[in-house]
Structure formats: structure tokens, C-alpha cells
Amino acid sequence: MLEEIIQERLKKLARLKEAGINPYPASTKRTVPINEIREKFNALEKARKKVSVAGRLVGWRDQGSVIFADIADEKSKIQLVIKKDTFKNFSLFKDILDRGDFVSAGGTLFRTQKGQESIEVKELNLLVKSIRPLPSDWYGIGDIETLLRKRYLDILMNGETKELFRKKSVFWRSVREFLLSEGFMEMETPVLEALPGGAEAEPFKTHHNALDVDFYLRISLELPLKKLLVAGYEKVFEIGRIFRNEGIDREHLQDYTQLEFYWAYNDYNDLMKLTEKMFKDAIKKTTGGLKTTFQEQKIDWGKKWPKVEYVKIFEKFNKLNPLTATRDELFKKAVSLGLEPEKNLGKGRLIDLIYKKTVRPTLIQPCFLIDPPVEIEPLAKRSEKDPRVVERMQIVACGSELGKGFSELNDPLDQRARFEEQMKLRESGDKEAQFLDEDFLEALEYGMPPAAGFGLSERLFAVIMDKPVREAVIFPLMKPIKK
């Protein structure tokens, strides 16, 4: 069926060329977007002003001597009325135009007997002859995998999907504008790195032909931005793509957009004040309010967010103090929970694994999870009150981490010692443990001011839209189909 439709449209394409009509012209006659016509319809109709619109034919109703067609551009659509007695190429276009083609149409505005706003067409030009029919012409799209592979069709046919990505644009714009209004400066740092750093994740590797050297795709924006604090900038941020070679699930992708900012002469207490304000601003501008729904649960972002101490809540749920528990005790606990931990996991990774199973799913309303054990955060500053924990906060809601920040570690000796511990974990088989980065350590030795840093990914947008993160990405990475 599909192949027959394609062949029929190819015949129409040949007829157009035989008639001397270019089916893919470069120029377009458009004087006004359709939404502006709809907004000012009465005045334009009264003035009998000729308008010219352009867009895709999304409706086609042949009534013999009259054709009623719907034309849509990005923001709106309007009805075209094409009459045999007032349009000289009526017979040709009647036979060769299809739903899905792009056209420009010029004429005057009027209302039909039913009151429908329309354009009486005097001039019609083909802009693009579509070869494949739109999905609803032949089979529709009901399979989520197909929708994700052909997201352009999902956006084209589904107004809800189109609105989703309009909101995503609003989301990132609001975050950017908020930080700019707070005096932060936007930066761009390299995607390719000699060593991946700033997070615990397995990287992608690539080869640079000109230099004949292997590089990694960045897993974080952190270390280059912190070098800029060494350089003398005090408030910097970047919104960019990062890449992590890890599993796919409702919350994780291999490449995604992340924001990170770094703020000299401030700590994680200042971060909590600023990020709560930033989140509320972005959520309100994106959704229109501060109450959203996530998996049928009402989430109230508008209240003051409480602080939850990591150690206390971990002990409450697991009857085990993460600061005093041995690695063996943590390993046995993970096994008892059915987590199947790898034998080479260090204490920090085991604590985090248990937390994600027992504690995090219970944190539904927005909160700050603060002061975790030092083993799970190699780049955060130790607490002066208790050096066994670090000054880190996570914004947690809907059972998910939606942002993380901390008082940045700027002691080069302490940082080296923690990197060395991470390297021991790598050598024992932990592919996500951090590398020892001599270049970053050298920068710290010149002196980095006290600072706070924070990061959030597009997971936040997916959560406030109540979507799996993969469905909130326009073109998610998919496994190729073998043909």
C-alpha cells in the first residue's frame, strides 16, 4: 500500500516537470504568517487586502468544482478555498497536489457560510512535492519506538509533542536568562578531553586522526569551568552536551544537555538559596505554575524546600550508619537488598547504591539532601563540623536527583589524595571511578578561590513534564535497524 502511494506520487512529480513546473523552487511568496492573519482577520477581511501564506497542506477535500484545503505553518492553520472558475490551473493542481505538499497561496480573506475563516485562492504555487504520505494517510504511528525514531513525524502530527518541545525551549531559555540576570557569564569549553573528569561515569572514547591521539567525550562540564575560577572569573556557567556510556532507563541517556555553574566566594548554603529560586522561576515559566503532576502524584514546588541530612535518613531506612559501617557490612546490606553489587565496589559506591534503592524513592516532594559521606563525592569540600561528610546538596523530588551542587574542594593536596583513591578503584575494575587529572591539580596549586558549583540536566524538564527522559529529547539515540 505504501509503495503504491509513493509510486503514484512519483508519477505526479514527473507530470509537474513535464508541465514546466519546478516542484522544489527556491523562492517563496509569503507576506504574512498564518497566526497573524487569524489575529487580525476581521480588519484584513474588511480591507479586502490580498495576503499570501505558505505552509504544508494538512487537509484536502475535493468537492468537484471547489477544493477545500487546510494549510498549516509552524504556529497556525487556515482554510484555502480553490474554485475552478477563479483559478486558472485548477485542473492541474487538482490532480497533482496531495496532503503533505508545501504550497504558497495568495488571495483574499472571507468567511464561509458556516463562519470559517478562509482564503479565496487566486494564486497557488507548489513549493515542495512530498513523496511519502503523512502517517495517517496509510497506517498512523502507534508504536513508541517508531515515534522516537521518526520524531519529526511525531511533532508534525501530534500537537502535544510539538508543544512539549516548545516548552523545552522555554525551560532552557529561562535557566539561561536567570543566570545572566544574576551576573553569571556564559562560557564554552571543549567537548573532547584528554582525560574525562568531573563525574563518576564511563566515558566514550574517540580517535583524533590529525594528532593520532585518543580522546574522550566529556562526561561533565566541571573541571574546565573551575579552571576559569583560577583564571579570575567569579561567576561562570555553561549549558552544553555531555556524554556517558551507561545504561538506558527512564532517567538516563548516553548524551544529553547539562547546565553547570560555578560561583566564587560562596558555599553550598548560598547555592541552596539561589537554586531554589532558579528552579521555581524555570518551572513557573515552563508550566505556568508551581504545581505539577508526576506519575499521578501532585508535586508542590512552591513551598519552602526542607533540608534532609543524608546520614540520618540513610540510617533510618537501613539501620546502618554509613559513616561507621565497614565496607563488608555495606556489601552484605546491598546483597540482602538484591542489588547484586560487583565485588570491586568501594565503600562510597556501595553507600550510593543502597541509598538509591532504599531512600531516594521515598523523597517525592522537593527537598535538599545534604552532607553525604566523603567517599561518595571526590570533588566536594569536607564539612568543618564533621570531616567525614562533605558540603554537598542534592535537589531531590519525584524519587529522583534533579540537581547537585557543593562547596568546591580547592585544597590541591586533599584533591590529589581523593583522586588517588579513585585511581585505586579504577585499577580494581571500577570503570566509573575518576581519573587522576594532573593538569587540573596543577591549576588548583595556583589557587582557586572558595566557590560553590551546581549542575542540573534535562532530567528536570522530563520530570516536570511527567515523561521518561528519552521521550523528552527530540532525537534520542536509538539502535540502528538492520536492513
Cα–Cα distance, 30 to 39 (Å, whole number):
17
Asked whether residue 244 is domain-assigned, the answer is yes
**Nearest Cα residue to 47 out of 120, 110, 104, 106:** 110
Share of the chain above pLDDT 90, in %: 79
Lowest-pLDDT choice from 138-142, 221-225, 309-313, 431-435: 138-142
The confidence score (pLDDT) of residue 429 equals 83
Higher pLDDT, 294 or 29: 294
- Average pLDDT for residues 157-175, to the nearest whole number? 95
Of 103, 137, 171, at which residue does a domain stop?
A: 137
Query: Are both 348 and 283 inside the same structural domain?
Result: yes
Query: Are both 222 and 370 inside the same structural domain?
Result: yes
Cα–Cα distance, 132 to 8 (Å, whole number):
10
Q: What CA–CA distances, in Å, run from 437 to 62, 126, 345, 419, 422?
A: 69, 59, 21, 8, 11
Domain enclosing residue 104, as ranges: 2-137
Top mean pLDDT of 145-149, 320-324, 413-417 is at: 320-324
- For 20, left (φ over 0), alpha (ψ -120 to 50), or beta? left
Strand ordering across the sheet containing 192-193: 192-193, 213-217, 205-208
Query: Are both 320 and 401 inside the same structural domain?
Result: yes
Cα–Cα distance, 135 to 2 (Å, whole number):
10
Query: Are both 112 and 194 inside the same structural domain?
Result: no
Residue 140 pLDDT greater than 70, yes or no: no
Mean pLDDT of the chain: 93
Query: Are both 416 and 445 inside the same structural domain?
Result: yes
What letter does residue 336 receive in the DSSP assignment?
Answer: H
Provide the domain count of the chain.
Answer: 2
**Nearest Cα residue to 13 out of 115, 133, 128, 179:** 128
Sign for the CA dihedral angle at 116, 122, 123, 124 comes to positive
**CATH number, position 337:** 3.30.930.10
Cα–Cα distance, 29 to 51 (Å, whole number):
10
Asked whether residue 63 is domain-assigned, the answer is yes
- What pLDDT digit, counting tens, does each position of 241-254 carry? 999 998 777 778 89
Higher pLDDT, 426 or 283: 283
Asked whether residue 298 is domain-assigned, the answer is yes
Asked whether residue 321 is domain-assigned, the answer is yes
Query: Are both 84 and 163 inside the same structural domain?
Result: no
Residue type, 392: R
Residue 308 pLDDT greater than 70, yes or no: yes
3-class state of residue 23 by DSSP: coil
What letter does residue 231 receive in the DSSP assignment?
Answer: T
Residue 472 pLDDT greater than 60, yes or no: yes
Query: Are both 123 and 186 inside the same structural domain?
Result: no
Q: What CA–CA distances, in Å, run from 19 to 16, 24, 39, 142?
A: 5, 14, 38, 39
Query: Are both 369 and 452 inside the same structural domain?
Result: yes
Asked whether residue 480 is domain-assigned, the answer is no
Query: Are both 185 and 229 inside the same structural domain?
Result: yes
Asked whether residue 142 is domain-assigned, the answer is no
The overall pTM is greater than 0.95: no
Query: Are both 208 and 102 inside the same structural domain?
Result: no
Of 108, 137, 166, at which residue does a domain stop?
A: 137
- What pLDDT digit, counting tens, does each position of 215-231 carry? 999 999 999 999 999 99
Of 111, 137, 163, at which residue does a domain stop?
A: 137
Query: Are both 227 and 159 inside the same structural domain?
Result: yes
The confidence score (pLDDT) of residue 138 equals 47
Asked whether residue 479 is domain-assigned, the answer is no
- Average pLDDT for residues 409-421, to the nearest whole number? 92
The confidence score (pLDDT) of residue 275 equals 98
Residue 351 pLDDT greater than 90, yes or no: yes
Buried-state track 306-324, b at ≥16 Cβ within 10 A, e below 16? eebebbebbbeebebebbe
- What pLDDT digit, counting tens, does each position of 26-66 carry? 999 899 999 999 999 999 998 888 999 999 999 999 999 99
**CATH number, position 87:** 2.40.50.140
Query: Are both 115 and 163 inside the same structural domain?
Result: no
Asked whether residue 144 is domain-assigned, the answer is no
